[in-house]
Each structure stands twice: as structure tokens, then as C-alpha cells.
Structure 1
């Protein structure tokens, strides 16, 4: 029987000892958006986006919108994004058109990944859907996020070495979005969350992300085992700016984790940054926030 999983996902499932669970979840990834989520999708106001530029560099960003800006067709095989997109996203799509999307409702902690190819429209995008699937609500901080006043039409700054303000944002955030790629399956973007401080800054300049227990599909890590390119987007929910970092990643399996920062998996994604850019016009948080009850709470050794 043909498997929905590619070789990298299979290898990750085996290394984690979770292949049996993944086998039982065959069919989670569908070739179209399920009809029963159409209305939910139309209500969403936050979208994470993964693209790749002409040089083969992977990028991720966050695009807020108004309810109704995501419109699936009757079969769920096409999605229209009715919102002017950042210039960087439009430029990246000219190089091939692959796109990874994540619609996420921070208040209800619901999220759905939609991957495929995209073409630019005068005021938005048309996406041909190739994969669509829900993820569980774990590790999402409950909050209300609204579009900031600015439009994220241009990248305001860029560089190759992370600045002090970037390191501070990384050390304080409880949310980021992670993009990966596969030579046949295309792009994918997923949510990563935890208590503030869950992102670790290593002495050699790498960024370490703990990999918590998930759905056992290992879509992101499976991609990384085939192609090490990675990108993360960290929204500054106070200012509305978005820090985008691109680089390469390695997976640390069964690593030392004395303070239990992984929640028991002993698994990390270690990112070597190559370049960064920032955009304005991302989401801002309003009112109180509530950390996920599923977050691991690291303790001193």
C-alpha cells in the first residue's frame, strides 16, 4: 500500500519510535480542504506563509487579515487569499510558486496547514491545494491578535548577523512559525510554542528549539532529514514587526535534557542562522494571554 509519508518522515518516525502511531494516522493529510472546515476557514484572521526565493532561500512570515480573506472553492481544491500580500512573498512566488500556509486561530487554539502552489492576483493569491490537514491545539498561547496599523509591504531591514534586539525577542517569545521544504512535496509551515524562554540561544550562535510530543507525523523534522533548509518567523506581538530568520538545521536525537525542556522527548531542532529580515504590519496582541496547559515547564537540574 502506498504511504502518504515520504522517506524523511518515515525515518523520523522510526528514530522517535512512533511509526506505529503514524501508521494509525494515515489519511490525516488530505488532497483538499475538507468541506466541514470551510466556514471556520472563512472566519480566520491570521495566516503563516512559507515561500522560497529565486536563490533557493526559504522564508517564513505572518500575514493578518480580516474575516473572509480566506475563501476556499466548493471542492476545497482551490483557495483564494483576498488580501494584498507582502512584496517579499510576491517576489518569492515568481521563482516557482510553491507555498506553505497555516491558518491559525489563537483564541480557540485551532490550526490548519494548507500546502500547494500559488499565483499572484491583483489583490491577493490563488492557491492550488495539494495538502490540507488540522493539527492539535497543543502549545498555542490563547490570545486575541489583531492587525497592526502598518502594512507589511516591504522588508524594512535585513542582515546576516542577528542583533541584540533579535536575541531578546527570541528569548522572550512564546510563539514562532517554522518553515521547511521537500524536493517533491514542496513547502510547509507549522506553529511552535511554549513558555517564554522555550527558544534557547546556544553559545555558538545557533538557535535551539525543543521538539515536544506531537502528532507523530513528523512533517517538519521529516523534511529537515531530507533538506536542511529552514526558516522561522517570530512576530513581535507588542510592536507588530516580524523577525524572519533563514538558515539550516540539524536534529539532536535523544540529547541530554537535564531540565526537561523538551517535555521528555530529548529532541531538539538546532538552527544555524544565515540571514534575517524584518517586516512591519504583523499581528499585535490585545488583552490578556493564557499559556497552553500542555507546555513543558523546565526545571533546574
Structure 2
């Protein structure tokens, strides 16, 4: 019996990695191991993806002191934070919702994902019942360390349907973003993408493109997109603590040479949050796994 849905299996078959995917799939559990609980308790941020009532996918950033994310037991994750007013997921996460989460440790180049169902805890936070729990490899994570910076509460700086010139520049120089997608049963997944600046290409105010670098062969993001093109992107501003949230539709391009793949993303909604987190971060040490970006200055 496979842990994957039909979209994931279709992509794994097309990529010729069924055996590798089956091997990797054995690491997916429905409980939170002790080592994962310790990892989560040390985190300062958590990325959460979910769908709004219109079916748009969004990913947003929650933050707090170490311990704001904790495993209450092997099936339950408690998060002492919720999105601020104006965040596209603020209303969504005020009630029950399928969520995908990813906890990233840039300093240690570690990450883990936990997907499940969230409900409000009655104290301004969330309780998530785990359905999928697994770690990912350290590839493409830029090493950074957090810095506390006094910051006002998060607020919406701008909203629209296209990227402004300044936002296009921010996207084109990003080295990290997160992507939320959803499977055929409505379950949401949140994943990390990293590379050298320029790997996320701006083709226009409503068109982005990124290469799909080799990973663990699970193809959960592409498998979801095989069946549901809705996707949400989160681009944190590591220098200021602001964040750019994008929602739109994505399509996988399989025509790259030597079996390569890329994703074309059409922007439909843009929300820029000022002071999304009170953290800023040190300058990046780029991952040695990052492929060169064609045409980028060396």
C-alpha cells in the first residue's frame, strides 16, 4: 500500500523514480517522534499553508519565542500564534482547516513538515492534529541565524493582483520561498524552495518561473499540482521581517533538457505584510547544493 495519492504517483512514474519514492515514503509517519518534538520546540518560526473559502492557496509565517510550537503528544502540535488581521489566512484559521506546515532551521540547515487539521485553541493559537510527519534533506537551505528586532504588529502594506516594480525586484533577488499546494482530498502541503538569487525568475508582473531541483523523489508539490493547479507562495524578507504572500495557479513544464522540470506560476493575488515577524536574519551562506543560475553574474 502506498502513502501517495494518484497525482504524486503519476509524477513519480513520469520522472522514473517509483522505487526511490517508495523508499522515501517509508519515512512518512502520522506521529511526532521525540527528535521531531525537540526540533519543533526550538523553532522561532513556522510556515503554514491553507486554502481560503474561494479555494485559493496561501502560505503565511507565524513566529514566537522558542517553545511557541510544541508537541503536546505524538499526534498533537500546539502553536501559540495565529495570523494577524489582514493576513489572507487570518479568517481561515479562526476555524477548522486543513493545513500544511514546515518548520525551517536555516542556521542548522534542517527542516521538517507536518500536515494535518487545525482548530483554534481558544487562546489565540492553533491545535493541529498530525496526519503526515516527515523530515527533508538539507539541500538548498541558505544558512542564516535569527536576530531579534523590535517591531510593530504585522499589517497589510499593499494588496493587488499584480506585482509592483519593487515587488518584482524582491522576487527576482530571493534565495528562498515556500509553496503551499493541496491534494485531491483537500489536504494541504507546505514545502521549501531555495537556490541562488535569480532562481525564481520574474517573467512579468503576473508571471514567475522556477526550476525544480532534484530532491527526495516524493514529488508532493508537483503531485498536488498534477491534480490541482492552485498554489500559494510565501517570500520572507530576511532583512526587514516583512513578507510577500502570493496566490495563483501553477503548471509544471516537463520540456527542459535532460529530464529537467520547471514550474510556471501565474500570480492572481498579492498581499504584502509589513512586520510579518519581529525577527531579522544574518546574511546568508548559500547552500553548496545550489545549482548556478543561468545568466546570473558570478
TM-score, scaled to structure 2:
0.92
In 1, are the aligned partners of 2:84 and 2:90 still within 8 Å (CA)? yes
Secondary structure of the 2:113 match is strand
1:215-241: CA deviations, max 9, x gaps?
Answer: 000010000001000010101112211
Q: Is the 8 A contact 2:178 2:233 kept in 1?
A: yes
| d(CA) in 1 for partners of 2:192, 2:148 | 18
Match of 2:284 in 1: 289
Per the alignment, residue 43 of structure 2 pairs with: 44
- The separation in 2 between residues aligned to 1:203 and 1:156, in whole angstroms, is 21
Corresponding position: 1:30 with 2:29: yes
Counterpart for residue 269 of structure 1: 263
Task: Quote the residue 2:67 is aligned against.
Answer: 68
Does the 8 Å CA contact 2:43/2:103 hold for their aligned counterparts?
Answer: yes
1:252 is matched with 253
| Alignment CA distance shift 1:3-1:147 (3 Å) | farther
Q: Give the distance between the partners of 2:153 and 2:232, measured in 1 at CA.
A: 18
- 1:12 Cα deviation (Å)? 0.8
Q: CA RMSD in A?
A: 2.0
- Assess if the C-alpha contact under 8 Å between 1:53 and 1:95 holds in 2: no
Q: In the alignment, is residue 218 of structure 1 matched against residue 216 of structure 2?
A: no
Please tell me whether residue 58 in structure 1 is matched to residue 57 in structure 2: yes
Deviation of 1:153 (Å): 4.3
Report the Cα distance in structure 1 between the residues aligned to 2:96 and 2:288, rounded to whole angstroms: 40
The Cα shift of 1:72 comes to 0.4
Deviates more, 1:151-160 or 1:222-231: 151-160
> What is aligned with 1:261?
none
Aligned to 1:119: 119
Q: Following superposition of structure 1 onto structure 2, how do residues 95-106 of structure 1 map, counting pairs within 5 Å? A: 96-106=96-106
CA drift at 1:297: 0.9
Q: CA deviation at 1:299?
A: 4.3
| Contact 1:50 1:101 (8 Å CA) reproduced | yes
Distance 1:114 1:151, change over 3 A: farther
Deviation for aligned residue 1:248: 0.3
Equivalent pair of 1:112/1:135 in contact (CA under 8 Å): yes
Which stretch shows the higher mean deviation, 171-180 or 51-60?
A: 51-60
3-state DSSP of counterpart to 1:41 = helix
Shift of 1:35: 2.1
Write the distance in 2 (CA, Å) between the matches of 1:3 and 1:92: 31
**When the two structures are aligned, how many residues end up with a matched partner?**
292
Contact 1:85 1:124 survives alignment (8 Å): no
2:130 counterpart residue number: 129
Query: C-alpha distance in 2, partners of 1:158/1:20?
Result: 44
Residues 213 and 265 of structure 1 are in contact (CA less than 8 Å); yes or no, is this contact kept in structure 2? no
C-alpha deviation, 1:18, in angstroms: 1.1
Structure 2 residue runs of 5 or longer lacking an equivalent are: none
C-alpha distance in structure 1 between counterparts of 2:206 and 2:128, whole Å: 36
**Residue-by-residue CA offset, 1:255-282 (whole Å, 9 max, x unaligned):** 25xxxxxxx6520011011011011233
Asked if 1:192 is matched to 2:186, the reply is no
Equivalent position SS for 2:213:
coil
5+ long unaligned stretches in structure 1: 257-263
